[in-house]
Structure 1
């Protein structure tokens, strides 16, 4: 009976969610168009456009739209008060559930065969750099007076795969009043630093005299976002681009154990807390990520299916970051101060120096 009632409620729920989901998709499409024509990170465009459309979420609606009960009394799934912000439920759904779908589909990007083909040295470089960067970031965050989880969030974004890692880790961490603000700041910072690295790092590998394989390991092991890794690697040579892409995918594979670590840390921190239930040890989207890595590794999926999964994942993540932008007021980001900027810049510089040293020392 309860299942039947839940199914019967879906049409009404879908009508409630549709305006906000549609708004997020439209912003994602606009961000994709701008990214393709101007070469900047699509996540950054989605975030900026989302911030510009903040009024759709009802967090700061124009005076003419303020009607009905106060926002704190607004029902979560519609009702008379939802008229004041008809997009709010769908935006919230996109920022949470669509985000998790996009993270799970990231598993289709990598296979176990690709990891094995890299050999021992690149695998060691990636594992060492990810562990040390995240560990140092958590210590630095605590020293600067931030929550340790912010260091995990920013360090994970720097060490793994940029904005995608930031959003995946944010999805795994428990609710916190500052979590979305921290996620937005991390996405902005890591996108800007990744674009700068795509320009500077190819010149650096020439200056240090790295061969094609060494340059690929360095670029794939340091640049934050996949698109920027591809752009920097293939700007040097085909071999450098191939190695950089594989190393980057190996960093993406590190997302799973880091998310599990984040969940364990959050569960330990929530013991005895009255804020709410502890997060599950393995969230559903993490299980989906691992399952899709295994499925992609079997070779059973044809290339068009893998390409479709990658495209759907990208669209989900872009729409989710647009929705997160819509939920956040720009003045909140303007108050972060210098310390978070210094933290992310320090993480990026540390990762670059560490990977360069490992490329030099490891065979």
Structure 2
């Protein structure tokens, strides 16, 4: 039977040798390149939704990531139009990687070293407690280890940014998009609650600036809210919270690497499903480490670092909004209370351990 020579990949969907045939017949079959304009509808609607989220955050104090998630979910009917798919997928995938890479402009090796050995040990305990609590909660509620790793790792490092990075190595084959989106929603909500409640808690307990800065920097997920909570106590507490929080951000690369290795063994994918193997260091994590190294050797000008932070937040907001728009709300609502437990357990564990360490170890 004669095969149609049109550049239609679906014609080879049932053919095990379709890709080989396409490659071998490349000289004979003219494959038309898809225009870049295919990205415009999806990127435009994600940008509009992201701008609305930024406006809400600026004028009403709503956490910008939470606003982006809610607006994205509210207008997810737009993703029913196939013309938006390429742009939304590009924003959710490539936008998140670029945003995470740019976070490297905010971290230096000197900042990590300046924190000191004792606070660093406490920070390691807080991160370990968050991961273990999330894994235990996932197992107790009948969820996969991937769900625990996603919730615990995101809580341990930097909230939505870490969740996006971890989702990149865990893969859609192990965690569906509805579970991922709900995790982002719970992370944003927990971080917003912590911003309001943790500073009064430190004052009620009579914490010093060093203790308060460690507590909020080690236990609040979102970078901006952790630093903001520190400065809500005092300038000295804010400076301490900044160092502690950026140290957590620096742990993103090793955590993602270990997560990739562990999840490949704990939940191996069936043969022929997804990637054949999980890379030890994803490319965007290598780029993140490269920027950290450059920033450590040649500190970036403050204005350039500020612009990089703004660009990172913008890209991550676009990625979160696009991900929410591509999520089916019926699946999200059907997840139930069990899907919330890993993040909730990790949040409580990180607060308890950080509180105990700040009270009994840090002077």
TM range (shorter): 0.7 to 0.9
SS in 1 for 2:279: coil
Whether the 8 Å CA contact 1:56–1:85 is kept in 2: the answer is: no
**Other-structure match for 2:346:** 347
Moved more, 302-311 or 103-112: 302-311
4+ residue runs over 4 A deviation? none
Structure-to-structure mapping, 1:91-102, within 5 angstroms: 91-102=88-99
8 Å CA contact 2:260–2:280 kept in 1: the answer is yes
Which residue number in structure 1 is paired with residue 16 of structure 2?
none
Distance 2:32 2:129 in 1: 46
Equivalent residue number for residue 13 of structure 2: none
Query: Residue 224 in 1 paired to residue 246 in 2?
Result: no
Confirm whether residue 316 of structure 1 aligns to residue 338 of structure 2: no
Q: What is the deviation of 1:38?
A: 0.9
CA contact (8 A) 2:137 2:341 kept: no
Report what 2:53 is aligned to: 31
Structure 1 residues 207-218: aligned runs within 5 Å: 207-218=204-215
Q: Which of residues 255, 259, 264 is equivalent to 1:258?
A: 255
Per-residue deviation, 1:149:
1.0
User: Are the counterparts in 1 of residues 129 and 349 from structure 2 also a CA contact under 8 Å?
Assistant: no
**Shift in alpha-carbon separation, 1:140–1:42, aligned structure 2, 3 A:** same
d(CA) in 1 for partners of 2:345, 2:310: 32
Q: Does 1:143 align with 2:140?
A: yes
Q: Which residue number corresponds to residue 297 of structure 2?
A: 298
Q: Number of matched residues?
A: 333
2:69 matched residue in structure 1: 47
Return closer, same or farther for 1:13/1:296 CA change in 2, 3 Å cut-off.
Answer: farther
CA contact (8 A) 1:270 1:278 kept: no
What is aligned with 1:165? 162
Taking the aligned partners of 2:41 and 2:270, their CA distance within structure 1 comes to: 39
- Cα distance change, pair 271–163 in 1 and its aligned pair in 2 (3 A): closer
Tell me: CA distance 1:119–1:264, structure 2 relative to 1, closer, same or farther (3 Å).
same
Cα distance, 1:273 vs. partner?
Answer: 3.2
> Structure 1 259/177 Cα, relative in aligned 2: closer, same or farther at 3 Å?
closer
Instruction: Please provide the CA RMSD for this pair.
Output: 2.1
Distance in structure 2 (CA, Å) of the matches to 1:167 and 1:10: 33
Match of 2:235 among 234, 238, 242: 238
Instruction: Assess, with a 3 A threshold, how the Cα gap between structure 1 residues 278 and 145 changes in structure 2: closer, same or farther.
Output: same
SS at match of 1:161: coil
Task: Summarize the Cα distance change of 1:334–1:361 in structure 2 as closer, same or farther, 3 Å threshold.
Answer: same
- Checking the alignment, whether the CA contact within 8 Å between 1:174 and 1:279 is kept in structure 2 is no
Given candidates 159, 182, 196, the residue that maps to 1:185 is 182
Aligned counterparts of 1:169 and 1:10: Cα–Cα separation in 2: 35
1:271 and 1:146, CA in 2 relative to 1: closer, same or farther beyond 3 A?
Answer: closer
Deviations 1:241-273 (A, max 9, x none): 111111111111111111001111233233663
Could you tell me how far apart the structure 1 residues matched to 2:93 and 2:322 are?
Answer: 9
Asked if structure 2 preserves the Cα contact closer than 8 Å seen for 1:118 and 1:246, the reply is: yes
Residues 130-158 of structure 1 deviation map (CA, whole Å, 9 limit, x = unaligned): 12211231122122110101101111121
What is the distance in 2 between the residues matched to 1:304 and 1:336? 44
Alpha-carbon distance between aligned partners in 1 of 2:355 and 2:201, rounded to the nearest angstrom: 10
> CA 1:300–1:197 in structure 2 vs 1: closer, same or farther (change >3 Å)?
closer
Query: For residues 127 and 13 of structure 1, do their structure 2 counterparts lie closer, same or farther at Cα, with a shift above 3 Å needed?
Result: farther
**What TM-score comes out, normalization by structure 2 length?**
0.86
Structure 1 regions of 5+ residues with no counterpart? 59-83
Shifted more, 190-199 versus 137-146: the winner is 137-146
2:103–2:288 Cα contact (<8 Å) kept: yes
- Do residues 274 (structure 1) and 268 (structure 2) align? no
> Counterpart in 2 of 1:64?
none
